[in-house]
Amino acid sequence: MKIFNRVVVIIVLFKIILFSIIAVVNKIANLFTWTDVLNKVIGSIGGLNICITGAILLLVVAGCIVLLVFEFRKKE
């Protein structure tokens, strides 16, 4: 069960990191338009300044990377 939990946590963290990176790049470069479902989810951050939005998503990415490092760290 411990290995299964690690696999699930790693998959979820990678998805969060990937989504955050895509959202930051799209916010800056306007590469594509979000679908209606994603607009409803991300619509609440649409009125924020681009720097604030980028900083929030950067904190999410940094937190996920820290959790990944702790997941792979050797336990004594």
Q: Quick: pLDDT tens for 16-61.
A: 889 888 888 877 887 766 676 566 666 666 677 778 878 888 898 8
In terms of residues, how long is the chain? 76
Question: Which residues constitute the domain of residue 16?
Answer: 2-68
Q: How far apart are CA 27 and CA 33, in angstroms?
A: 10
Task: Please indicate, yes or no, if residue 49 is contained in any of the structural domains.
Answer: yes
Residue 74 lies in a domain: no
> Residue 75: inside a domain, yes or no?
no
Its pTM stands at 0.53
Residue 33: the pLDDT is 67
User: CA distances (Å), 13 to each of 31, 33, 37, 54, 58, in order?
Assistant: 24, 24, 21, 18, 14
Q: Could you tell me if residue 52 is inside a domain?
A: yes
Domain count across the chain: 1
Assigned domain for 34 exists: yes
Report DSSP state, residue 43.
G
Distance CA 68, CA 40 (A): 29
Q: What is the pLDDT of residue 6?
A: 81
Does residue 8 surpass a pLDDT of 60? yes
